[in-house]
Structures are given as C-alpha cells and as structure tokens.
Amino acid sequence: MPSYTAPITDSRFILDAVLGLDTLAARGGAFAGATSDVVAAVLEEAGRFAAERLFPLNQSGDREGCTRHEDGSVTTPTGFREAYVAMAAGGWTTLGAPEAVGGQGLPAVVATVVSEYFSAANHSFAMYSGLTEGAVEAILTVGSDAQKSLYVPPMVAGRWTGTMNLTEPQCGTDLGLIRTKADPQVDGSYRISGTKIFISAGEHDLTENIIHLVLARTPGAPAGSKGISLFIVPKFLVEPDGTLGPRNALSCGSLEHKMGIHGNATCVMNYDSAIGWLLGEENRGLAAMFVMMNAARLWVGVQGLAQGEVAYQNAALYATERRQGRALTGPAEPDAVADPLLVHPDVRRMLMEAKALTEGLRALCLWGALQVDLAHHGQSDKEKQDAADLLSLLTPVIKGYGTDQGFHVAVMAQQIFGGHGYIAENGMEQYVRDARIAMIYEGANGVQAMDLVGRKLPAEGGRAIRLFFETITAETGEARAAGGEVAALADALDKANGQLQAATVWMMQHGLARPDNAGAGAYAFMHLTGIVALGLMWLRMARAAAERLAAGGGDTAFLTAKLTTARFFAERLMPRAGALRREIEGGADAVMALPAEAFLPNA
Amino acid sequence: MPSYTAPITDSRFILDAVLGLDTLAARGGAFAGATSDVVAAVLEEAGRFAAERLFPLNQSGDREGCTRHEDGSVTTPTGFREAYVAMAAGGWTTLGAPEAVGGQGLPAVVATVVSEYFSAANHSFAMYSGLTEGAVEAILTVGSDAQKSLYVPPMVAGRWTGTMNLTEPQCGTDLGLIRTKADPQVDGSYRISGTKIFISAGEHDLTENIIHLVLARTPGAPAGSKGISLFIVPKFLVEPDGTLGPRNALSCGSLEHKMGIHGNATCVMNYDSAIGWLLGEENRGLAAMFVMMNAARLWVGVQGLAQGEVAYQNAALYATERRQGRALTGPAEPDAVADPLLVHPDVRRMLMEAKALTEGLRALCLWGALQVDLAHHGQSDKEKQDAADLLSLLTPVIKGYGTDQGFHVAVMAQQIFGGHGYIAENGMEQYVRDARIAMIYEGANGVQAMDLVGRKLPAEGGRAIRLFFETITAETGEARAAGGEVAALADALDKANGQLQAATVWMMQHGLARPDNAGAGAYAFMHLTGIVALGLMWLRMARAAAERLAAGGGDTAFLTAKLTTARFFAERLMPRAGALRREIEGGADAVMALPAEAFLPNA
C-alpha cells in the first residue's frame, strides 16, 4: 500500500531558512499574515488533510475514473465529492485569494506549499480547485468590477469551479487557429458556438456551477492570434443577485480516455449558442489568457515536483523494507536473510538523485512563487521589477525543467520497485502516468523552452538573465568568502553558471543570426538553466544548513543531510551542464538538414 | 490511427553494408542460408506479417487484456490465437533454431531482425514466442538428448510455448532466496511445490502445452544461489512418444494488473507437487538459467529498440501531417493555415534524436546478435573468443542502455503529439507503457549496470573491454585516414572513447579499492559505454554510406540521411560522454553517506 506524508520539515526549512519568510512577515502588509506560527499551523493542517482525505482517494480514483452519463453529466470517482466539500469547508480554496473576495490573503509562496501537498496526495483531485485559482486570477486581472463581484467570491469559496477553454481539434499550441465563434447580442452578451477539447474539469458533480473561460473570435476579428477574445461562459447563468439562473447551452460531449489523471474529467465541450460575456478587451483574449496560463505554469511545475515527491517517498520506504542481495562491502545485516535494498549503491544513486531533484525543485518552485508576491507587494519599484523579471524568466524553467525532472524521478522511483513497480496495486506506475501529463499541458515543454529562449531571454535587452547571473555571482562570492564546505559548492555552481553564460552568449549571437539555432538549442538551454537554478537553490540550502549547524540550532540530522545532498547535486548532476552547452553549440545544421521524406519509414 | 512499417531498408543496410552478412554468407557453413536474396525475402515477409497480422491486434490487445477464468484457464485477447496459429504455420517460430530440431538454421542476426519487427508490431504478442526461444536455448544447452528430442521440436514448431519461472514474492534479483521445493521421487522425477510470480505467458490459450522451466531447491541443497536447480515442468505431461498425457499439478492463481503489456498474461503460478524433471545438473540451475537469461537480455534490448521505432514512426508521420504554428524563418507553406510541426527545430530535435538512437540501437543489437553467431560458428578460435568476449560485454549494454533509450524515444515521440499523445486512442501512450517493462524485467537496468562493471569489465583481466577499445581505435584510424566527412566523426568518437577509457581506469583503481565506488558509478558507466558503442555504430554506418555514395550506388537520399544523422549523433548526443565520466568520478562518498532515516519523510 502506498503512503504519503507531507514534507513539512523541508517546506518550512525552505520558507524560513532559505527564503526568509519570517523576516518578510515582519514587514507587515501583504506578508503580515505569514508569521512562522501561522504558517506552521497551516502546513500541519494541510499536510494532514492531504494525507488523510485526498491520498486515500488517489488509487481508487485512478481505477474508477470519471463517468459521463447520457444526459452529459459527469460523475467523479467515489469520495471526490465529499472530499471536495470538506476541502471547501476547511477554507483550503481561499488561502491565497485576496481578502476582498473572501480569501485569506496569504502569500502565494505559502499557498504554493499547500498546492504541492494536495497535488502529491491526489493530482487529479487537486486539478479541480487548481484550475479555479487560475480562472479567478484572470477575472481579477482583466474583469470588470461587476464580473469580479459576481463570479469570484463563490469560486474562491469553493462553491463554483473554473476552467480554461483553449484547445480545439485543429489547434493546440497555435491558438491563432481557433474557430469558436462569439456573436455579439444587443444586450451586450455574446453567443458562443464551437467545440473545445481537452478541457480539464469541464464537467463534474463537485459544485453547483462551473465558470468556463473560453477563447473565441468575434465577427470580423483579425486573423490569427490578434483576433481572439476571452469570454466568461457559466454552466448555469448567474442572476445579478448571485443566484443560479437557467442552464446555459453548453455540454460535455464525451470524456477522453487517457494515460493517467483518470480522476479528472477531461472533456470535449460543445458550445451551442451558449451565452457568454466578454472578459477584458475584445481581441486581447490571448493576453488575458496568459495571465491565467502563467500562474498555471508555475502550478504545473509544482505538480511535477509533487508526483516526484510522492513516488520518491514510497521508493525510499520500499528500499528500507525490501530485502534483496548483500552490500558490496559484505553483509550489512548478517542475521537477516538479505540486506535492505538501500545498501546497494545504484539504489542509493536513484534515491539521492530523487532527493536532490525534489528538494531542489521545491526550493525553486517556492522561490518562483515568492517572486509572485514580491512583484505585487515589493517594498520598492526595484524589488517589484526584479521579482517580475525573475518570475518571467523562471516560469518556463519551473514548468519545463520541473516537470521533466518530476517525471524522471517518478520513473526512477518505479524502477527501485523492480517488477513490483510495474504492478498497478503498488501505486508506483500511477505516479509515472500522472506525472507524464505535466510535461504536456499548459504549453508542452518544448513550447516552454521556446518561451525561455525566444521571449524571456532577449526581453528588455536580457535584463532578467543578467539579474539571474548577478544573483549567482554575488551569492557564490559570499559563500566562497565564508569558506568551508559551501565554498566547494560555490565553485561548482560558478562553473555550471559559466557554461550557462557561454551558452547565453552563443544563443544571442547565433540565434539572432539564424533563428533555427535558437530553436534547436532551446530545450537543452532550458535544462541548463534548470541545473544552474537548482544549483543556486542547493547553495542557498547548504549555506542555511551550515549556518544553523554552526549556531548549534535545529535538527542536526536534517541539516547534515542537506549538506550531503547539496554535495551530491554538485558532484553528480551538475556536470551535465557542460554537455548541454556543447549540445546547444552543436547548432541547427544537423537538426534541420533532412528533407521531410527522410523521416518516413523505409525512406 | 497508429501505423507500423517494418524498417526493412535500414535493417538490410546494416546487415549488408555494416555487418557484411553477404560476405559471411559466402563462407558457407552456418551462414550459408543467409544469402542476400534469402534474407531480403525473409524480411519482406516478416515485415508484412508484423504489419498486417500483429500490429492490428496491438491496441485492441492492450484494451482487452487477458482474462483468467475460474478454472484457472486464461484467454488471450481476441485474435491472438488465430495470429499465433498463422505465425507457427508461416514458420516464424523456427527461424533461428537448428535444423536438427526442425528449425531453419538461419543466423541469429537474421532472426533478431524479425524479432524486432514482431516486437514493434505487438510487444505483448511477441513475448509468447520470444520466451519460448529462450527456453529452447536452455534445453538445447544443458538438457539430455532425451529432453531435447522430446520437448524442443514442438516448441520450435510453435505447437508448445515455454516460460521462465524465477521470481517469487520474496525474491526477484536475489535468486538465492528461492523457496520453491523439488522433492526427488524414486522414478527420477521431482515433485515441485511453491509459488512463482510475474510469470510471463504462464498460462494462455495459444498452444496445447506450455513447458515451464522452474528454479527450485532440492532437499539439503546448499543455502543461497549455489543450491538452486532447474526443472522442466510441463503443463501437460508428455508421453515418451510425444503425445500429451495428464494435466500436471500447476495452475495460474491470478493475473497481475500491470502498467502495460496487457496482451501478455503475467501469472502467479502455483506448483502443488507438480511433476518435474531436472534440467542440467543439480544445484547448477542458476548457470543453466543464465543461458536462457543472456539470450533473453539481448532480446529485451531489441524490445526497447522496437517500441522506440514504432513510436518514432508515428511521431514522424504526425509531424509531417499536423499543422501548428509557423517556421521561425517565416511561413514554409504560406498558402496553408499553418506549417507542419516538422518545421519547428525542437520537434526536429526530438525526431533526430529518436532517429539517431533507434538506428544506432538497431546496428548495435544486430552487431551483438552477430557475435552470437560468430561465437558459435567463427572460423577460428580467435574469432570465436573475440565474439564471445564482445557478446558478454555488450549484452548488459544492449539490455540496459538500449531499453532506457527505447523508453526515452517513446516518451519523446509521445511528446511530439502534445495532448493527443496522452489520449489512449492515438496509441502513443501504449508504446510508453509497454516500453517501460523492458527496463525492469530480465534483470532491472541497475542490475545490468552492475553486471557490466562488476563482472564483464574485470573478466579475464579486462580482455573484452580492451578488445572493444582496440576495435574503436582501429576503425577511427581507418576513418581518419580516409578523410572527408567521416574523419570528423572519428574524432568525436575518439574523444568519447577517451572519456570511457578514463572512466574505465578510474573504475579499475577506485572500484577495486572501494566496491561502492564501482556501484555508485555503474549506471553512468553503462550509459557511457552505450554512447561509445552507438558512436562506433554510427561511424560504421557513415563509412558504409560514404563508400556507397562515392561508388555511385544505392539510394542517395537514404545514404545522405545516414551521414546527417551520424553528424547529429556526434554533435548533439556524444557530448554527454564527458558528463557521465565526471559523474562516475564523483564516486561513492555523497551517494553512500546518508543514514537510512534521512530518506524517510520529515526526517
């Protein structure tokens, strides 16, 4: 039987010792509520809810899946509805939302910890409320005051959920190809007609209403992505007093059969002259959707981490319990029939890699989430600007590198189980199947790589990446000055960062001269940036651990493990930076040379 | 709808231009039957059978799976039985078996091509006959003459199948823990009692009998792996005249629910005083089983390649058909609504990587299979010895690196489909799920890595790896002397080989001094060896292509693509060699340092 324990010790270490949330709380303002004891209590409760209410529904939800009935209604797996009601009643949907709309106004960085726990415990379940948060964000950012007050409070309260309707059969990444139509009516509303596919949580039985945000074209709109508008299209129309009116002309046409996330209803949605209202400006729908999308991309990165974490936890437990073979150095437990798997260096290698990646990704996701807070609530324009720059740079890295590595960790964790990892009952293969989607949705990871290289890197003359480099150089300098164990980490990070800097210069020169060079190296560049970003996180964690150890405070075993894991990251995972740089510098020639026919069988 | 086309052009290029099978055929003897026209006809027919009979059952077999009935009988998916009968009638089970037992006596290297096609078309289906080949090999190697003549001909003919019964609930890799008992009877037979798990094809409705090879302990046998014997335990006892006698006391207790290979019946097998006969010597069962296992490991490497190939083919087709976005260099097809996916450098990167890996692995698998032929039928003791050495060294690399990369290719191919890759109907996610098992069974890939580093590397004072290095040095020298495009490949290969040589020296020194150093670096060493081996294959393919082009013969487009793909491998994939060497040289310190508790949640 698989298990899950929320990694509260590590989350709190990152929040306090690495990100200095306790110091920020002392600032007051938007951080005022995030005092150490409040955060501790929130994480305790969230961890308990995740482990006790959500995790027990994870395997059963996968096995049972969602069911669409003839009338188009959809039933979620047994227990999901009760758990959803309990989640809303517990206030878990309100954490990060502003107090003005019924939220608790906690910083995004705290809400992100909770979303990791919920995703790890039950990826499919957590998607229902997670998508709602993105829809709330979009309405709060571009909606009218009336829209904000009508739709947002019930969504924040967990009484309604939200969705994103982008994809159509003929268009995924290329949203310029959208065909769904929006015809303006005399009363200011629109009639929405078209088919959307892959709509997560498009229909379900968890809440009384669903607020769909739908991309569509108005008559005469410019072709391509500049002619797309965003609409609010509720399942049940909402009366001005907030009560539910008639059923709107939209329905779930079918559910997709998927590799994983069976507990989430992935719907084909049919809009048949459904009533909708423009959200934000006409023809500016893509920009509005990107508000939602950028928040969602950070969250998907967290999902990658989350599936890696739960898979790692189970593999680690298995490795301490399952006995097979003997240590290379002689029997570790001679009286037992065999030693635990953990004695085998290659099992250790996988666990250490999983530990280094999940803890590093946790720090990176939370650092990213903190930039969301600082971009809005920083003390100075510079602090806000820096945070916005870092967030913009880090978002595709957290999404793309984070989900790639989350999947990789899940696959390694499954591997530790041997044949037992392939058997459904043991739960490991579900983590792999569920983790796989995170590399695909909210912009496939190749799209993230192009976002990083094509947009984020050159923006404002490279201001964001320069800030990233300066941050690293400053921190490695401090670490080296402090000496000791962290000085070696600083050297390793500087070396990896040097590879990234060289790759950046190469990209600037050769990508500009020939865009295909940028495209061909984008994916490797994203991974290289990810390694360096994780290296920075490990340097910070190691420095914080060393300081706490020197001060004689804290949990010695935990802090010592941080130092060892940081060293593992530097010695075993950072060397890939050099290979990635060389891969980038390979350029586009061999990548782009073949004619299309050369890829076909027996060409 | 997914599709499959056997890659006959590439298989024949490798057999003829790279491995010189036509030259070997001229030797006569064991290679006599493998003339170019015979091989061409066999591959044509095999490709057609795979594509037309086996592939159409792949998705339906996955969806339907196997069914166990209350009486313990098992039904395979609809159509499997008819296809199996057709396969046997077509002589496809007899290809590589000796003529003395009813086989066609074709070289292993030719049979391996066919097994790639069958595995690619239907992994689950191909396992039924594939496992039989391993069982036949074991009986032919260690069985008595009576056993050979009684059991082997019907197995070769496809009338009976065979299985390997190793795993028990408490033991997988560590076969020393086996508990199944074998009690000797006065008539020379044994009574076998125990439970085996994860028995592929343990029960089914394809053939009238199943010959189980079962590892068990005789009374008073030494503890551990030195007290294990191998037994023939038929489902139906076989009369001396070859007719079927009474049902033996063995049965399928249940079927496992698995991540993939749903079309293959993975059984819990219960032996309840079943009648069995010793196969080979008492207490030498593990050695006998390894005869079977080593053949099976090569075959599993081919399975990795095969799932990579079918996934790659479908991704390549999709990339030429699906239109999304525009080329970075401006619209490639301005009159269409969008350009095909293939214009995007990152999609190309994935396809080129898939192409470089699958074609490289195909050459490596076939080179490995050729060593099976040469080890048995070489012209001199030296040729035989060299082939046996190379085979022994390459087997864990083909299995471990090959299946890792096959899975990686399947995941990339799925990624090219975006959201459509996650949907079951499109078939891509099945390739990922099916490919995943190959990294686990027949010795998990970590076990392969330890086999390579702990046994194959030091054997006979490093004779095999020295031969491997000498081969590379000789061939890069020739390539450089010839000049032109292949000289650059030779340089890249020498560089990667230099990393492997340095890592080997490091392993010899530090692994001997501290075995955990060898264990901690084993996996990276396996991948490093895989990269160098694929580099050698690409050098050979490039040289053969360049020679044919220079001679003005052959398919110019195909040969030019070989040169481009070779360059891609050198520029984009070979740089990883340096990172792997550094990872190895990181050693065991950080890997082994943490106490077990540090891996537990909230430690």
| Closest to B110 in 3D by CA, of B8, B28, B27 | B8
Residues in chain A with CB shorter than 8 Å from the CB of B515 are: 328-329
Catalytic residue among A442, A470, A478, A485: A442
- Contact residues on chain B for A577, CB-CB shorter than 8 A: 579
B442 among known catalytic residues: yes
> Could you tell me the pLDDT band of residue A602, with boundaries at 50, 70 and 90?
confident
Q: Work out the burial of residue A553: count CB atoms within 10 Å of its CB; fewer than 13 is exposed, 13-18 middle, 19 or more buried.
A: exposed
Which region holds residue A483: left if phi is over 0, alpha if psi is between -120 and 50, else beta? Answer: left
Could you tell me the two tokens for B530? 């895989």
Provide the pLDDT for residue A252: 98
As beta bridge partners, residue B75 has: B67
Q: Tell me: the pLDDT tens digits for B508-557?
A: 999 989 999 999 999 999 999 999 999 999 999 999 999 999 999 789 99
pLDDT at B601: 87
Task: Find residue B254's DSSP bridge partners.
Answer: B268
User: Residue range A69-74: average pLDDT?
Assistant: 97
Is the CB of A602 less than 8 angstroms away from the CB of B9? yes
Q: B169 to chain A nearest CA, in Å? A: 10
Distance from CA of A136 to the nearest CA of B (A): 24
Of A328, A425, A579, Cβ closest to residue B576: A579
A124: its two tokens: 């499919």
Which residues of chain A lie closer than 8 angstroms to B445, CB-CB? 415
Give the DSSP per-residue string, B241-253: TS-EEEEPSEEEE
Q: What is the mean pLDDT of residues A194-208?
A: 98
Contact A57, A80 (CB under 8 A): yes
Pairing label, strands A74-75, A67-68? antiparallel
Helix (H, G, I), strand (E, B) or coil at A337: coil
Kindly tell me if the per-residue pLDDT of B502 is higher than 80.
yes
- pLDDT tens-digit profile of A462-490? 999 999 999 999 999 999 998 888 999 99
Cα B229 to chain centroid distance, Å, stands at: 26
Average pLDDT for A581-588: 97
Interface test with A, best of B3, B177, B592, B597 (most A CBs within 10 A): B592
Confidence of residue A291 (pLDDT cuts 50, 70, 90): confident
- Residues sharing a CB contact under 8 Å with residue A198, sequence separation 6 or more, in sequence order: A167, A172, A256, A266, A441, B419
Residue B224 in this model has a pLDDT that exceeds 80: yes
Q: What is the pLDDT of residues A339-353, one digit of tens each?
A: 999 999 999 999 999
Q: Quote the pLDDT of residue B84.
A: 98
Look at A418-432, A543-557, B344-358 and tell me which has the smallest mean pLDDT: A543-557
Q: Do B599 and A316 touch (CB under 8 A)?
A: yes
Q: Do A440 and B423 touch (CB under 8 A)?
A: no
- Pairing between β-strand A160-165 and β-strand A209-216 as defined by DSSP bridges: parallel
User: Using the beta-carbon criterion (under 8 Å), do B418 and A518 form an inter-chain contact?
Assistant: no
- B10, B320, B568 member nearest A596 (Cβ): B320
Percent of chain B with pLDDT over 70: 100
Q: How far from the centroid of its chain's Cα atoms is residue B581's Cα?
A: 26
Please write the tens of the pLDDT for every residue from B178-218. 999 999 999 999 999 999 999 999 999 999 999 999 999 99
| pLDDT, average across residues B493-510 | 97
Tally of CA atoms within 13 A in the half-sphere of A159 that contains its CB: 11
Contact indicator for B331, A518 with CB cutoff of 8 Å: no
ipTM: 0.98
The pLDDT confidence band at residue A554, using thresholds 50, 70 and 90, is confident
Contact B214, B229 (CB under 8 A): no
Q: How far is A198 from chain B (nearest CA, A)?
A: 8
Residue B219 in this model has a pLDDT that exceeds 80: yes
Find out whether A590 and B564 touch, Cβ atoms under 8 Å: yes
**Nearest-CB residue to B345 (from A167, A441, A520):** A520
Q: State yes or no: pLDDT of B277 exceeds 90.
A: yes
Residue A553 has a pLDDT of 77
Q: Given a cut of 90, is residue B289 above it in pLDDT?
A: no
- The set of residues, in sequence order, having a beta carbon less than 8 Å from that of A413 and lying 6+ positions away, is A308, A311, A312, A314, A315, A350, A354, A421, A428, A431
- Interface contact flag, A338 B595, Cβ < 8 Å: no
**Rounded distance between C-alpha atoms, residue B289 and residue B299, angstroms:** 15
pLDDT value, residue B511? 94
Distance from the Cα of A251 to chain B's closest Cα (Å) equals 20
Looking at residue B343, its pLDDT comes to 97
Neighbours of A270 (CB within 10 A): 17
Q: How far is A244 from chain B (nearest CA, A)?
A: 33
pLDDT at B290: 85
Interface probe with A: pick from B59, B174, B538, most Cβ of A within 10 Å: B174
Please compute, for residue A276, the number of CA atoms within 13 A of its CA located in the half-sphere on the CB side: 34
Tens of pLDDT along B76-114?
Answer: 999 999 999 999 999 999 999 999 999 999 999 999 999
3-state DSSP assignment of residue A211: strand
Tell me the mean pLDDT in the region A386-398: 98
CB within 8 Å of A160: residues ≥ 6 apart: A132, A151, A154, A207, A208, A209, A210, A211
Smallest Cβ distance to B590: which of A342, A445, A571? A571
For residue B191, the cross-strand partners are B183, B275
What is d(CA B7, CA B16) in angstroms, rounded to the nearest whole number?
14
* Dist. CA B307–CA B303, nearest whole Å: 6
3-class DSSP state of B160 = strand
Residues of chain A positioned with their CB less than 8 A from the CB of B571: 583, 586-587, 589-590
**By CA distance, what is B417's nearest residue in A?**
A440
Size of interface A-B (CB pairs under 8 A): 301
Which of B522, B115, B376, B566 lies closest to A350 in space, CA to CA?
B522
Query: Residue A292's pLDDT is what?
Result: 83
pLDDT at A293: 86
CB contact under 8 A, B424 and A523: no
Strand B236-238 and strand B229-234: the pairing is: unpaired
Catalytic residue among B137, B309, B359, B442: B442
Phi, psi torsion values for A462, nearest 5 degrees: 80, 25
